[in-house]
Amino acid sequence: MAVYTDLTDEQLTDLMSNYDIGNVLSLKGIAEGVENSNFLLTTDYNGQPKKFILTLYEKRVNPDDLPFFINLMTHLAESGLLCPVPVKRKDGATLSNIAGRPAAIISFLEGLSLRRPEAVHCRALGASMAEMHLAAQRFDMTRANNLSIDAWPALYETSRQNADTLHAGLTNLIDGELARLKELWPDAHAALPRGIIHADLFADNVFFIGTELSGIIDFYFACTDMLAYDLAIVLNAWCFETDTSFNITKARALMDGYHSVRKLTPAEIDALPVLAAGAAMRFLLTRLHDWFAPQEGALVKPKNPLDYLHRLRFHKKTKSAADYGVEI
Amino acid sequence: MAVYTDLTDEQLTDLMSNYDIGNVLSLKGIAEGVENSNFLLTTDYNGQPKKFILTLYEKRVNPDDLPFFINLMTHLAESGLLCPVPVKRKDGATLSNIAGRPAAIISFLEGLSLRRPEAVHCRALGASMAEMHLAAQRFDMTRANNLSIDAWPALYETSRQNADTLHAGLTNLIDGELARLKELWPDAHAALPRGIIHADLFADNVFFIGTELSGIIDFYFACTDMLAYDLAIVLNAWCFETDTSFNITKARALMDGYHSVRKLTPAEIDALPVLAAGAAMRFLLTRLHDWFAPQEGALVKPKNPLDYLHRLRFHKKTKSAADYGVEI
């Protein structure tokens, strides 16, 4: 949950005077997202109550990245993807300033994020993710992935000396895997298709109404990287059970859904095991970092890094994309 | 903010199967109330999205008190007061159980809680509070005020030895005021009108749309006590500025609003200064308690007790209800 910043009546009135979306009916701080402050804003829009999300970007978001995120959402929504649409101000801008922070009002999407997605949801997500990847090919901004392989050694340094206190042998395992991934990571020559990826498609960022996907939110990790790396992240996030066992039925559904919209190239299929290990490494390292150096004022309990240790061990042993349910 | 309990998909599905209010469209944990977990629930009710609040009663609420709270809200709403209406289940009950906790679904009220209410809002609140007092006279349940004068010595014990570390001389001042209040507190012979009071009408519990009061929420401190004590609480909560100065214009508006619906008796008018001091003492003591013994797992920063020390000092010096804007 996260509402780091409270708003005064005057701040809200000032903000709303820049928009043409009706008068405020209510504003509730909501427990969504961990990086920013989010409010559910209801206005009387054309005489009907209408819901929006007001997001205040807190310090973990680089303000220079905001135009990328906002323009990406606008582009994807215009392309037909079910994602939040930033609302334009009267002056045509999409970013505001409130309580000393950059802020945006975006459309509200109905739907529930699932605690335990089933295969049918994985299939739907796969298809939507592929649509997102294709739609984003026509988006002309880029943003480097600052949490990819080059960033891992420095990220690891912050927790390396404590890692073994959490789990005996963890330091050795990470050292070895970092070396292996460096060796095997697809480089520019591998020519894996690149583009905009979401990079944080965890279950809390995907809404469903019944089995229908109703929205993808939280594009604040989106960046330019290998498209198949997004799939690798989702394999980790959606296809392992809470007991850390891998569910190949869900993986197969995810891959089938993706394939139904965009075919993976042979190079992507080859790279899947190492990308999956890399995705596990990325979340293992950020979780380790947050575990040992929790953010000042964070309202969120750090997540257990060991969930991703188990995943990393699994990926270390896989031999080919067939182990992830891809028909080769 | 407060969402102490997360819900699984199954828990939500189970819960909703007991109600006839449509399918869930979304569920957001919201930062409202400090005692319970609150969610904004949207369902497709008769084909339209409709908002409700789902409240899970956490350990600070005594389950035995819940029928009182729920029935009171139902009674007040049926009497025309703008307050949440508990939704009846298919079996006619209003209380459910989810995630091991008692829970209720109540109607959602639009409106903003004001950070800095103006006199016009105080007047509206005075009138609504008087309507609430009158409507509750026809409510046949009672609940003792377990945070009134008899409870203060024990409450004080939890922080007495630390009080001077927060503010030099605080212990002496509280000792003296507790003795004075015990001496002056209106007893049964004073025959002050009694009934159900809200007892926690802080600005976050009152919604406005513009200058119109649109809702009173959070009845979980409601109890049977002197009606004028509710006014005394609101005098403290609404009529002091952030620099702790007393704003008699707001007090006058509050009293005028109340009087326009229900006339205070001479005994109530006489008792106002001591009731105001008592209300300040009650919040000073609970805030001191929370300051020195913050609740385990509390997601809320303890409020500064000294705000109420300043109020208490003010009330100690007032001579009559005229000092609170009451025409005598």
Helical spans, DSSP H, in chain B: 9-16, 66-78, 119-136, 152-157, 160-166, 170-184, 227-238, 248-259, 266-292, 306-317
Under a CB-based contact definition with an 8 Å cutoff, are residues A44 and A26 in contact? no
Q: What was the pLDDT predicted at B300?
A: 60
Q: Which long-range contacts (CB under 8 A, 24 or more apart) does A199-202 make?
A: A199/A145, A199/A147, A199/A223, A199/A225, A199/A229, A199/A230, A199/A233, A200/A233, A201/A125, A201/A129, A201/A230, A201/A233, A201/A234, A201/A237, A201/A238, A202/A237
Task: Count contacts between A and B (CB, < 8 Å).
Answer: 81
Q: Where exactly does CATH 3.30.200.20 map onto chain B?
A: 9-108
Is B49 in Cβ contact with A110 (below 8 Å)?
Answer: yes
User: What is the ipTM score, two decimals?
Assistant: 0.78
Per-residue pLDDT 10s for chain B (328 aa) are: 456 778 888 899 999 999 999 999 999 999 876 678 999 999 999 888 999 999 999 888 899 999 999 999 999 999 999 999 999 999 999 999 999 999 999 999 999 999 889 999 999 999 999 999 999 999 999 999 999 999 999 999 989 999 999 999 999 999 999 999 999 999 877 789 999 999 999 999 999 998 999 999 999 999 999 999 999 999 999 999 989 899 999 999 999 999 999 999 999 999 999 999 999 999 999 999 989 886 655 556 778 899 999 999 999 999 999 999 898 7
Dihedral, CA atoms, B6, B10, B12, B18, nearest 10 degrees? -150
Residues B90 and B92: their CA atoms lie apart, in Å, by: 5
What's the gap in Å between the CA of B30 and the closest CA on chain A?
4
The H-or-E segment that residue A312 falls in is helix A306-317
Q: Which listed CATH number (3.40.50.300, 2.40.30.10, 1.10.760.10, 3.90.1200.10) goes with A113-324?
A: 3.90.1200.10
Q: Where exactly does CATH 3.90.1200.10 map onto chain A?
A: 113-324
Instruction: Report strand pairing: B96-98 vs B48-56.
Output: unpaired
What would the DSSP string read from start to end of A167-228?
Answer: STTHHHHHHHHHHHHHHHS--GGG---EEEE-S---GGGEEEETTEEEEE---TT-EEEEHH
Domain B9-108: assigned CATH number: 3.30.200.20
Q: Which of residues 131-170 of A touch B (CB under 8 A)?
A: none
What's the gap in Å between the CA of B107 and the closest CA on chain A?
14
The beta-carbon neighbor of A116 closest among B9, B116, B210 is B9
The beta-carbon neighbor of B110 closest among A8, A42, A114 is A42
Q: How far apart are the first and last CA of chain A?
A: 42
The beta-carbon neighbor of B26 closest among A26, A29, A110 is A110
Q: What was the pLDDT predicted at A296?
A: 58
Q: What is the mean pLDDT of each run of 10 residues along chain A (328 residues)?
A: 75 95 93 82 91 92 94 97 97 94 96 93 98 97 95 94 92 96 88 96 94 96 97 98 94 97 96 97 95 67 89 95 89
Phi, psi of B188 (to 5 degrees): -55, -30
